[in-house]
Chains A and B, each alone.
Chain A
Amino acid sequence: MRKAFRPGIMVLLATLASWTFASPARAQEAEALRRELEQMRKQVEALSERLRRLEAQPPPAAPVAAPTPAAGAQPQSVAMQAPTPTPGAPSSAPSVMDLVRPRQPFALYQQRGAGQLLFDMGITGDFIGNVTQRNVDKAGAGTFRGRENRFFPREVELNLFGQIDPYARGEVRIESGEEARGQETGVSLAEAHLTLLTLPFNTQLKIGQMRARYGWSNQLHDEAMPWPDRPGVYRYFFGEEGLSEKGFEATWVPGLPFYLEVLGGLFNGDNETAFGRGRISEPLVTGRVRAFFDLTDEHALQIGASVVSGLTSERQRHTLPGFDVRYKYRPDGWLHPLLTLGGEGIWSLRRREVTRDVVVSEDPLETLAVGNHRTFTRFGWYTYAELQPFRRWAGGVRYDYTELPDRGREWALEPYVSFRPSEFLRFRAGYKLTERSQDNGFSANGASARHVDELFFQATFVLGAHPAHPF
């Protein structure tokens, strides 16, 4: 039994002895490892410090040159991609004074090619062809008055727009177009305005000559409208060009859960058809409220209410309240809306002198004439639907109804179809049937135009940049 234990005891003793002698060696090894780790930690810290210093340096003046695209290039680990960091300019929470003061400019990141212009430039061309009956031509009472049965440049426009400085944006549009048969094509200033973008409390101010933001379609230039011609209610209440004025427009977007824009404007009131007083001292005043609702990702609705009030050249008040609605259905993943519905209605409340009384005073040499005034109310509206099942093709129909400013009323139905080979080129054809309740104002040269059939052809192009239009 003792013999059996003896080898085991020997092994145990040998193991203990080896542990006892090995301990100093292990301790030395651990110490060496600790030193190595410490050294590595210091290296990491030094590298981190170097990285921090590099990050604090300003960015290179020129952008990084683009590598030649090489199919089959070696894939890299994401960690291998070394970004070129730039320190951000620290900003602090704005005080009231900061809000009032214009904000400081900051370096632009945008990459641009050499020799670039500091603003965008584009040209749009809009040509119209009109075919109608001979009596309408003779009476000069078609949609494009004085240009019946003609093909003509309605609007060729040079657009210049861009950032003026860090605080303001500018836009200038110079246009030309045929206004009457045989007349020389003149050049005029369509719009020229600046918008102050950095005003406090989410406000903006637009100053200059502009298409007033009244209703929905008034803001659109002729070539941007979804139809060949401007709706009848605008043509009769504001003239063929719509409401374009010189003055100021301020907007405010409050922080509500939905988009709401509140707008107020002061203008000269130069529009001859509706106003004509033409003095900023007796201004034309505009107001508009616009709300937008994303019903779902596919359905969107915009509603608006507008008003414009000013004096006519006879110093009589003319007020035009109106409303507009627009709906779009754009199926998920589609590049264009499938269905667009819209409409606008405008009332015209115009003071006019109806009779004039002669008052005889006590002085026989003095007689006084006193005008009797009445407010005439007219209403006009239009609605339209457009279907675009294919990217290049769209078709729609518009219905117009307008009580004419003097007497009578007019309605019109206008189906049309548009073809867009690309984003910058569009052809459109349409037919318009117009019925008027009487011929007052539509008779001339022994002809009258109570019933009008018209065919329209439209060709529109955009060369270069073009400012985008609202929803």
Chain B
Amino acid sequence: MQSRRLVSVAVALALVASGASGAERVRVVTTIPDLKSLTEAVGGDLVDVESLTRGTQNLHEAEVRPSMMLKLRRADLLIENGLDLDRWVDVAVQGANNGTIIRGAPGRIEISRDVPLLEVPSARVDRSMGDVHPLGNPHFSLDPGLAPVITQNIVDGLVRVAPPHRATFERNRQAFLARLDGEMAKWTKTMEPLRGAKVAVFHPVYIYFLTRFGLVQIGALEDRPGIPPSPAHVARLIQLMKQEKVKALLVEPWNDRKLAERVAQEAGAKALVMATAVGAVKGADTYIATIEYNIRTLAEALR
């Protein structure tokens, strides 16, 4: 009796281990939550999407946990942002023992393909410049105007692993872009009176978003990317913000809020916590809601 029970447990474990779930949905893992939201929009009911990070995390410095490896172990497709934002995923992939998603395999795509990049260094870079991205600023997903490129890459990636569903993915993408187009018209109208307004940032995350809506970034609170500011740099920035009549300092949820508020107060501006990704702040649960949050926050402060 006991041996029979042991056999059934062993069979059950073997079934689980072999991944015999019977589900036919494409299992997609994304490195950042923005890509999860966009993949869900494109994949619809045909995909199960998980993100390795949450919006409240600094996406540059995600801690590689074995739970990431567990998600990747089952993945049919891994969608990464690229441009060195999520290089940590290589370590997680290595521990996942899933040959389908290693670099160069069909089950892995990098979403930055064909994205017109900003802040690409034109001179030799080294670490004295801080945590600089030699391939360009990787935070392009915050620009809703780039969603067509990103979602096209997602469609291409999904088609690699589920070719029969190409038409559905395309249809879902068109429906999503139509919805986004409607929102974009509203956002553009809201931001139109603020065109040319100057802002300062804590870390250069929002350049694509600001460029899209015609705002000007005059400086960053970090001395160099990733390097905490020196008192002299803080003083210089406050002076510059006063000169340029800057009304807003854009802050990521994990930045030093006290420092940001002090600098903003001294410069006569407001420190605004902006969403850096889907789920970064309350209410930013989807891609459209995240952009909506940033537009609303910025428009209210700059008006």
Contacts and interface: CB of A to CB of B under 8 A. Distances in A.
Interface in B52-97: 54, 56-58, 61, 63-67, 69-70, 73-74, 82-83, 88, 90-91, 94-97
Interface in B244-267: 253-254
B19 interface: yes
Given A74-B214, A259-B69, A103 B105 contact: yes
A165 to B, nearest CB: 9
A14 B82 CA distance: 76
Interface in B150-171: 151-153, 155-161, 163
B94 to A, nearest CB: 7
A198 B98 CA distance: 7
Contacts of B254: 333-335
A261 B110 contact: no
A63 B114 CA distance: 6
B303 interface: no
B160 A91 contact: yes
Contacts of A252: 97
A63 B113 contact: yes
Nearest to B112: A111
A75 B212 contact: yes
Interface string B133-155: 01110000000111111011101
Interface string A99-130: 00001011111111100000000000000000
Given A112-B135, A254-B17, A70 B54 contact: no
Contacts of B152: 83-85
A59 B156 CA distance: 12
A467 B94 CA distance: 11
A257 to B, nearest CB: 8
A77 B114 contact: no
B102 A471 contact: no
Contact of A108 (B65, B104, B181, B217): B104
B18 A251 contact: no
Main secondary structure of the interface of A (DSSP, over half): loop
A423 interface: yes
A130 B254 CA distance: 38
B96 A253 contact: yes
Contacts of A107: 104
Contacts of A197: 94, 99, 102
A256 B120 CA distance: 43
A73 B145 CA distance: 12
B289 interface: no
Contacts of A333: 56-57, 253-254
Q: How large is the interface on A (under 10, 10 to 19, 20 to 34, 35 or more residues)?
A: 35 or more
B236 interface: no
Interface stretch (B3-11, B32-40, B41-49, B188-196): B188-196
A292 B109 contact: no
Interface residues of B, number: 92
B103 interface: yes
A367 interface: no
A203 interface: yes
Given A78-B177, A169-B94, A255-B74, A72 B214 contact: yes
Nearest to B120: A66
A329 to B, nearest CB: 12
B163 A91 contact: yes
Interface string A355-376: 0000000000000000000000
Contacts of A74: 214
A81 B146 contact: yes
A261 B66 contact: yes
A36 interface: no
B213 interface: yes
B135 A113 contact: yes
Contacts of A64: 114-116
A72 B195 contact: yes
B211 interface: yes
Interface stretch (A131-139, A294-302, A410-418): A294-302
A198 B163 contact: no
A28 interface: no
A12 interface: no
Contacts of B136: 66
B83 A75 contact: no
B66 A259 contact: yes
A85 B156 contact: yes
Interface in B169-188: 177, 180-181, 184-185, 188
Given A75-B145, A256-B17, A422-B226, 13 more contacts: A66-B118, A69-B119, A74-B214, A78-B147, A78-B177, A78-B181, A88-B157, A90-B159, A107-B104, A111-B113, A195-B94, A253-B97, A292-B67
Interface of A: 59, 63-67, 69-79, 81-91, 103, 105-113, 163, 166-167, 169, 195, 197-200, 202-204, 251-259, 261, 290, 292-294, 297, 300, 302, 328, 330, 332-335, 337, 391-392, 422-424, 467-468, 470-471
List the 9 closest pairs (A to B, CB-CB), nearest first.
A198-B99, A292-B66, A83-B152, A88-B159, A71-B216, A88-B160, A259-B66, A254-B17, A66-B117
